[in-house]
Amino acid sequence: MRALWLANQQLTYRKDVSIPVPQPHEALVKVLLAGICATDIQLTKGYYPYTGVLGHEFVGQIMQAPDAPERIGERVVGEINIACGHCQLCTKGLSTHCENRSVLGIINKNGAFAEYLTLPLKNLIAVPDTVSNEVAIFTEPLAAALQIQQQLTIQATDRVLIIGAGRLGQLIAQTIVLTGCDLKVVARYPKQQQCLEMRGIHWILERNIAGHRFDIVIEATGSENGFLLAQQTVRPRGTIVLKSTFKNNVSLDLSRIIVSEVTVIGSRCGDFRPALRLLAAKLIDPSLLIDKQYPLEQGESAFEAVVRSGSLKILLIPNLV
């Protein structure tokens, strides 16, 4: 099959990758649409020593399911963490932190930038008929955005700052604004600002931010400058949420964190089902974030487009029919 293959931080388009064979309790999925995210970019820069097919955001169709033939033909999205189910963390309900886990397109599991992939049947969730592929493709990052509200309560009286108005920052903003809080989003580029305005979300330039006034600061850039700004803008006894992967170490003002009694929370994956419900109810509109769709063979050009300043969502089409 055709696929985008990563090896030694080099991404190449290949036609000779073997179609995966579903193992017991797995399904073979034909990939209809896949999304490029910041983690994919970081993997090409050496964030994690991965070799294989990249990609973990996808919409697909079940083609083979030996243990559940009734599911053949289902249009699905997929939870990306493949847990062992029996380690100490799994038995405590922390399967996304499984000690033995594989992660689609990230750790020991070929991903979605290919014509086909395999995942356990329990990871595959049916997409409602009312949700298009172009909307459903945002299920994984939207679930990650919603995870913030599983980790802390955001009240209407809270002052919240999101640093970063890229792909993930936009989805976080669309979920946080539903709480009715006083929300501001740091947005540098015109398209980012326009997308926020279309959803009635206030954006702000970095130079106009008052220091140490926000109850909750969500860092969604994965950059040292973003993390420094988070430390400068959170109030005493406020909370910083780190929502994006960092390739390199960053500076942490521990004295400021301790003296001001600031809480720092790491936040990663979330449940797909609430995300799909929000998409089906049209309370979230991610489609305005799509910049362009590329066929799989133009994958290298697609990655170049993602890293351009102000770029939002770039999609890949592994199968044209």
Greatest alpha-carbon pair distance for the chain in Å reads: 59
CA distance 244 to 38: 8
* pLDDT (tens digit per residue) in 144-196: 999 999 999 999 999 999 999 999 999 999 999 999 999 999 999 999 999 99
Location of structure tokens 């960092």? 246
* pLDDT (tens digit per residue) in 26-41: 999 999 999 999 889 9
- 144-158, 275-289, 307-321: lowest mean pLDDT where? 307-321
| Res 281: pLDDT | 95
What is the 8-class DSSP label of residue 22?
P
* pLDDT (tens digit per residue) in 65-77: 999 999 999 999 9
Mean pLDDT of the chain: 93
CA distance 49 to 47: 7
CA distance 167 to 173: 10
Phi, psi of 305 (to 5 degrees): -70, -35
What domains, with CATH codes, occur in the chain? 3-138+286-317 (3.90.180.10), 144-266 (3.40.50.720)
Residue 317 pLDDT class (50, 70, 90 cuts): very high
Per residue, the 3-state secondary structure of 30-49, as one string, reads EEEEEECCHHHHHHHCCCCC
Phi, psi of 279 (to 5 degrees): -65, -40
Report the SS3 class of residue 272.
helix
Beta bridge partners, 203, equal 185
Residue 321 pLDDT class (50, 70, 90 cuts): low
Strands (E), 145-300: 159-163, 182-186, 203-204, 214-219, 234-242, 263-266, 290-295
